[in-house]
Amino acid sequence: MNKILEKLCDGIDLDNDEINSFFSKLMSGDIDPSLASSILIALKIKKPSDSEVFYASEFLLNSIDTYESDLDLIDLCGTGGDSKSILNVSTISSLILSALNVKVAKHGNRSVSSKVGSADLFELLGINFDKNIQEAIESIEKRNISFLFAPNFHKSMKNVINIRKTLSTRTIFNILGPLINPLRPKHQLLGVYDKELLETMGKVLIKQGVKSGMVVHGLDGMDEISICDKTHIFEFKNGEYKNYIFDPQEYGFELGILENLVIKDIEQSKKILIGILNGSIKDEKRDICILNAGASLYLYDDNIDLAESFEYIRKKLEDKHVFNALKEYMDLS
């Protein structure tokens, strides 16, 4: 471990064996906390390479039960940490997609950096947390969506909780969450808190075998496709990848006001979700969900472009198709 620390301090990337050795001791609790903290901070200062992030994500995935099903799955998630405290865009977008027969493997947790996490909202809506792979597959087959509550699958994370709390700063763990979905979806919309992570995370997804994806970061700092500003996007699809800036105004959307997306508690989040679904909310809160659900549908379906995808999502919200599909198993009162 001391050699690993020295290598990082010299600005040299770790190889697969070194990452596996460190994470094996870290996740089992078999390492001095001060040494573990030093290595995590040295890795942060050096900045993790896409290979290091990939090796770490594969170690964590190989440590649990995972399953590459025949189902064509997508996940929408963010790293968190953008400090915006806005509504649950990825969760709402995931529910919209599930109502349109898109199969969503939603991997998430309770609130950490925001006021309401995906788990908090799913719980309030009366949606059970899937406890294992079989339950997750059954949920997707039954209603097109599973919520894989991260602590149910990544139990060894409890061994690093105190170290992370003591450090009180971002580490590699802040970007590993979206990369360790037990169902290994083949499509992903991933939001990041830092523009510098765009290409790194995109390359990791490609190495993981994800077929199509977008890594996004709003110019306003949002870890979503923003409705309030343009968005940096690293996209890969059909064997090609590109970096570009997405402007919602080019697709007929009006720019919104960021403050109007901020929520104060979980009850407000649920109220906004219901308003978007029943048609009583048609402002930037709805539009940001159309953007993110639409981009995800475009990644999922090779037969639709972005403009068509946005219009399709809007139409299915306005004709109450999404509301009627979701009220069959969700508490939308």
- List the strands of the sheet with 145-149, edge to edge: 145-149, 104-108, 74-78, 187-191, 212-218, 231-237, 240-246
What is the pLDDT confidence band of residue 128, given thresholds at 50, 70 and 90? Answer: confident
Q: What is the pLDDT of residue 333?
A: 81
Q: What is the pLDDT of residues 248-279, one digit of tens each?
A: 999 999 999 999 999 998 899 999 999 999 99
Q: What is the pLDDT of residue 232?
A: 98
What is the pLDDT confidence band of residue 82, given thresholds at 50, 70 and 90? Answer: low
175 within 8 A of 53, measured Cβ to Cβ: yes
The DSSP code for 329 is T
Pairing of strands 240-246, 231-237: antiparallel
pLDDT of 312 > 80? The answer is: yes
Q: What is the pLDDT of residues 288-310, one digit of tens each?
A: 999 999 999 999 999 999 999 99
Q: What is the pLDDT of residue 65?
A: 78
148 within 8 A of 66, measured Cβ to Cβ: no
Q: What is the pLDDT of residue 83?
A: 66
Side-chain half-sphere of 185: how many Cα atoms within 13 Å?
Answer: 31
pTM: 0.94
Q: What is the pLDDT of residues 166-217, one digit of tens each?
A: 998 999 999 999 999 999 999 999 999 999 999 999 999 999 999 999 999 9
Measured at the CA of 113, the angle between CA 295 and CA 62, to 5 degrees, comes to 70
Q: What is the pLDDT of residue 119?
A: 87
- Strands, E assignment, the chain: 74-78, 104-108, 145-149, 187-191, 212-218, 231-237, 240-246
